[in-house]
């Protein structure tokens, strides 16, 4: 099912076709038992991106109330939720005007990791990489091209081979002792931040450093994080096959995240 609200007003489930989605930003999450992991991080993302793209942000308490209202109206306790900030009814302005808020509630997805994925590198650099914006055509095309080439997904690198991020995920590597995150222009995902905090709590060493394609073969394992899964294994990148490491998978499986009820 799909349930949509615009500024707290219910919309037909196909109304997203009518909403101007060429400019704006969003955050996505899984809701479990009416609660969201990392909710304060989602609010901070929405506020910062709104100030950058619209010059003004919707107050956190209003966003919370709109999300809670839409979830309650959907009748779902477990759900997939997307909160989008789109141009207000009067259109974009040079003045600082808060955006309109679209909340989309849909059926939940399984958060358990699937079989290890085969990914391929593609040269692609997102505009405003630190913002989770609505300009997603390039990401969708990259995924399609990867699948057409026999892979499961794409991992982006810049023109110099610097590892950036995936089509809809952040990537991390394991050198046998520490989790290594790419240092590059990219989106700092909410799940990435939650995983980093959980690993710190578990005492797992981590570092952030520039990683190039030529460096990838030195790692024992790789995984990705996104709003749907915190620990999806990656089997290979291009022709580099990762041996894997049971210790890493055990550590990732033991992670826990604090949640906030909507």
Q: Taking 90 as the threshold, does the pLDDT of residue 91 lie above it?
A: no
Q: 3-class SS at 236?
A: strand
Token pair, residue 213, equals 């394609």
- Residue 19 is predicted with a pLDDT of 60
Task: Collect all residues with Cβ–Cβ distance below 8 Å to 41 and sequence separation of at least 6.
Answer: 190, 193, 194
Q: 3-class SS at 127?
A: coil
Q: What are phi and psi of 214, to 5 degrees?
A: -65, -20
pLDDT tens across 98-148, in order?
A: 999 999 999 999 999 999 999 999 999 999 999 999 999 999 999 999 999
What is the C-alpha radius of gyration for the chain, rounded to an integer number of angstroms? 19
Q: Cα torsion at 210, 216, 219, 221 (round to 10°)?
A: 110
Q: Which domains does the chain have, with CATH numbers?
A: 2-106 (3.30.470.10), 117-257 (3.20.10.10)
* Mean per-residue pLDDT of the chain: 95
The share of the chain scoring above pLDDT 90, in percent, equals 91
Q: Taking 70 as the threshold, does the pLDDT of residue 83 lie above it?
A: yes
pLDDT tens across 38-49, in order?
A: 999 999 999 999
More confident residue, 19 or 141: 141
Residues in the chain: 262
- Residue 67 is predicted with a pLDDT of 98
User: DSSP character for 59?
Assistant: -
pLDDT tens across 184-224, in order?
A: 999 999 999 999 999 999 999 999 999 999 999 999 999 99
Q: Taking 60 as the threshold, does the pLDDT of residue 20 lie above it?
A: no
pLDDT tens across 49-66, in order?
A: 999 999 999 999 999 999
Task: Collect all residues with Cβ–Cβ distance below 8 Å to 120 and sequence separation of at least 6.
Answer: 146, 149, 151, 154, 155, 237, 238
Q: How many other CB atoms are there within 10 angstroms of residue 229's CB atom? A: 19
| Confidence tier at 16 by pLDDT (50, 70, 90) | low
Token pair, residue 124, equals 């692609």
Q: Taking 70 as the threshold, does the pLDDT of residue 18 lie above it?
A: no
- Residue 197 is predicted with a pLDDT of 98
Whole-Å CA distances, 82 to 98, 106, 143, 162, 191: 18, 9, 20, 30, 14
């Amino acid at each position: 099912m799909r349930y949509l609200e615009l500024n707290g007003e219910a919309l037909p489930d196909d109304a997203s076709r009518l909403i101007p989605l060429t400019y704006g930003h969003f955050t996505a999450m899984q809701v479990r038992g009416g609660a969201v992991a990392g909710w304060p991080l989602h609010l901070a993302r929405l506020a910062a991106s709104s100030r950058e793209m619209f010059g003004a942000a919707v107050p956190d308490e209003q966003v919370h109330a709109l999300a809670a209202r839409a979830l309650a109206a959907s009748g779902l306790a477990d759900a997939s939720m997307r909160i989008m900030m789109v141009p207000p009814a009067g259109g974009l302005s040079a003045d600082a005007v808060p955006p309109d808020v679209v909340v989309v509630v849909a059926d939940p997805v399984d958060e358990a990791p699937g079989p290890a994925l085969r990914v391929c590198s593609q040269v692609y650099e997102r505009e405003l990489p630190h913002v989770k914006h609505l300009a997603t055509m390039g990401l969708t095309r990259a995924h399609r091209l990867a699948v057409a080439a026999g892979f499961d997904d794409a991992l982006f690198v810049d023109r110099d081979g610097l590892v950036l991020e995936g089509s809809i995920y952040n990537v991390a590597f394991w050198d046998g002792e520490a989790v290594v995150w790419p240092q590059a222009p990219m989106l700092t995902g909410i799940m990435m931040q939650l995983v980093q905090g959980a690993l710190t709590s578990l005492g797992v060493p981590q570092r952030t450093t520039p990683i190039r394609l030529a460096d990838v073969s030195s790692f024992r394992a790789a995984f990705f994080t996104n709003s749907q899964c915190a620990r999806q294994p990656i089997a290979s990148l291009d022709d580099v096959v990762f041996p894997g490491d049971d210790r890493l998978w055990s550590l990732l499986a033991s992670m826990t995240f604090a949640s906030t009820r909507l």
